[in-house]
């Protein structure tokens, strides 16, 4: 019996999500039992609209170029199917004789895979549904880490490495806001920017801890007095003790997506708010804020080679699992060495709709930095070829003694 695969991409794009797509498309060519690989345009929406493309008609050269291109090449969607939506999906899958559905995405997308798989079973439709992981948030339960995160982490680390140098040259306070609604992994990656003892980020605020404005200001004051400057990494998802996002204190009306999430990205409001607090309460003059925004997930030309390879491999493994007759599941990533991984097929229920947050041992006691355990965890992911930075050793020249106040 020959297999027909349909693959789609869901949720926010990443720098390596097309590696997984191309992993599926190319690996399938090795199996005579796989007759077709179709792609759906804009995720599950492309299925219910019957907007499919034949990936068998793509050239290898172009597929390889697409693999190296950030953001979902098939297009993506934020749609989250309900039962009715799922039945529409079936109708189209059945009409095209698709027996294997692969969805590349994060926890919302993995939940879609679960629903589609369950409904297929109920309907007596012999179809496997395989989840291929991706998310810059790194928040999939059951995973050591998730493709897309290492490249985004690398972007954040390179950004803070540069910001630290810029801030050392023209001292002041610099506060940058990083993506991550519930999980602080990406914000924590800012710590990978540090090399010399006085390097920033000096303070890292994660959504796993309550953000207390007065404590924040005391932290900034302390660092500023010590170094004459201060670099802060703050997650967009930081919230007060009631769980209310700090950003909603500023933004009156909030925009929500289909998953009921408040819009956190695509606005510079949080960084501006934090900077205003520092200026007004601490009286520091030079305070600057940045919001890394969409750059951190789709900047062209900043990718971790480790991430690239692993994203390709999860796509390949998905096809191998399907061709070898495995049931539905999620292609997992398990760390088996320092540094080495393998890709077990894990039950979709482990992942679907759940959110991993940073484990307590990765966050320092004060809740304003990461631990060495986090550095050991994250360092291998961003690749061994991070850009190097260096300082002058600055051998002092003896003062000429012509200034007022010099001891001459």
How many other C-beta atoms lie within 10 A of the C-beta of residue 294?
14
Q: Please tell me whether residue 238 binds a second copy under the rule CB under 8 A.
A: no
Q: Centre a 10 Å sphere on the Cβ of residue 332 and count the other Cβ atoms it contains.
A: 23
Q: Is 296 annotated as a binding residue?
A: yes
Residues 290-319 that bind a second copy (CB under 8 A): 290-295, 297-302
Considering only 9, 110, 112, 368, the residue that binds a second copy (CB under 8 A) is 9
Check binding of 2 to a second copy (CB under 8 A).
Answer: no
**Mask for 96-135, x = binds a second copy (CB under 8 A):** x---------------------------------------
Name the segment binding a second copy (CB under 8 A); options: 144-152, 207-215, 354-362, 380-388. 380-388
Least distance between a second copy and beta carbon 320 (Å): 23
Interaction of residue 20 with a second copy, rule CB under 8 A: no
Taking the least distance from each CB to a second copy, the nearer of 294 and 335 is 294
State how far the alpha carbon of 79 is from the alpha carbons of 11, 120, 140, 261, in Å.
Answer: 8, 19, 19, 13
Rounded CA gap, 77 and 23, in Å? 21
Residues 389-408 that bind a second copy (CB under 8 A): 389-397, 399-403, 406
| Residue 361 touches a second copy, criterion: CB under 8 A | no
DSSP track, 57-106 = GS-HHHHHHHHTS-S-TT--------HHHHHHHHHHHHHTT--EEEEEES
- Regarding 76 and contact with a second copy (CB under 8 A), the answer is yes
Residue 345 is assigned to a ligand binding site: no
Does residue number 78 form part of the binding site for a second copy (CB under 8 A)?
yes
Calculated CA dihedral for residues 146, 86, 324, 126, nearest 10 degrees: 160
If the CB atoms of residues 365 and 395 are measured against a second copy, the closer one turns out to be: 395
Stretch that binds a second copy, among 73-81, 120-128, 308-316, 348-356 (CB under 8 A): 73-81
Establish if 168 lies at the interface with a second copy (CB under 8 A). Answer: yes
Catalytic residue among 99, 108, 111, 137: 137
- The number of beta carbons lying within 10 Å of the beta carbon of residue 371 is 17
Work out whether 174 is an interface residue with a second copy (CB under 8 A).
yes
CA angle 44, 45, 51 (to 5 degrees): 100
Question: Is 190 in contact with 378 (CB distance < 8 Å)?
Answer: no
Cα(29)–Cα(14) distance, integer angstroms: 25
* Binding status of residue 148 toward a second copy by CB under 8 A: no
Applying CB under 8 A, among 8, 16, 28, 55 the residue interacting with a second copy is 55
Distances (CA, A) of 361 to 139, 188, 370: 16, 13, 9
137 is catalytic: yes
**Residue 19 and residue 312 in contact, taking contact as beta carbons nearer than 8 Å:** yes
363 appears as a binding residue in the annotation: no
Count of residues that bind a second copy according to CB under 8 A = 93
Q: Which listed residue (73, 127, 233, 381) binds a second copy by CB under 8 A?
A: 73
Q: How far is CA 110 from the centre of its chain?
A: 15
| Structural contact between residues 138 and 356, judged by C-beta atoms closer than 8 angstroms | yes
Q: Are 148 and 136 in contact (CB under 8 A)?
A: yes
Is 236 annotated in a binding site? The answer is: yes
Q: Supply the residues annotated as catalytic.
A: 137
């Amino acid at each position: 019996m020959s297999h027909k695969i349909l693959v789609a991409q869901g949720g926010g794009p990443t720098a390596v999500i097309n590696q997984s797509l191309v992993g599926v498309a190319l690996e399938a060519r090795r199996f005579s039992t796989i007759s077709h690989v179709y792609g759906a345009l804009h995720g599950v929406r492309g299925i219910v609209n019957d907007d499919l493309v034949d990936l068998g008609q793509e050239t290898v050269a172009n597929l390889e170029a697409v693999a190296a291109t950030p953001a979902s090449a098939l297009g993506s969607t934020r749609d989250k199917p309900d039962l009715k939506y799922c039945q529409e999906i079936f109708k189209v899958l059945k009409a095209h004789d698709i027996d294997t559905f692969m969805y590349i995405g994060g926890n919302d997308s993995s939940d879609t895979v679960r629903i589609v798989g369950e409904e297929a079973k109920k309907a007596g439709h012999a179809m496997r549904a395989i989840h291929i992981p991706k998310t810059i948030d790194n928040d999939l339960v059951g995973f050591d880490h998730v493709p897309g995160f290492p490249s985004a982490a690398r972007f954040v680390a390179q950004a803070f490495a540069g910001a630290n140098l810029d801030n050392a040259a023209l001292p002041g306070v610099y506060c940058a806001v990083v993506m991550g609604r519930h999980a602080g992994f990406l914000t924590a990656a800012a710590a990978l920017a540090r090399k010399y003892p006085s390097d920033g980020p000096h303070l890292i605020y994660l959504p796993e801890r309550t953000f207390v404005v007065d404590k924040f200001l005391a932290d900034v004051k302390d660092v500023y007095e010590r170094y004459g400057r201060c670099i802060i990494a703050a997650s967009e998802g930081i919230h007060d003790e009631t769980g209310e996002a700090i950003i909603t204190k500023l933004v009156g009306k909030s925009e929500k997506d289909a998953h009921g999430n408040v819009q956190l990205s695509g606005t510079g409001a949080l960084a501006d708010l934090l900077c205003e607090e520092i200026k007004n309460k601490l009286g520091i003059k030079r305070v600057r804020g940045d919001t890394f925004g969409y750059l951190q997930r789709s900047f062209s030309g900043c990718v971790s080679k480790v991430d690239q390879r692993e994203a390709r491999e999860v796509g390949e493994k998905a096809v191998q699992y399907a061709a070898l007759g495995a049931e539905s599941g999620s292609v997992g990533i398990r760390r088996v060495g320092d540094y080495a991984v393998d890709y077990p097929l894990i039950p979709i229920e482990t992942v679907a709709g759940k959110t991993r947050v940073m484990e307590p041992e990765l966050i320092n006691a004060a809740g304003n930095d990461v631990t060495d355990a986090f550095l050991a965890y994250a360092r291998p992911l961003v690749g061994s070829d991070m850009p190097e930075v260096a300082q002058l050793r600055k051998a002092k020249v003896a003062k000429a003694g012509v200034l007022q106040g010099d001891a001459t």
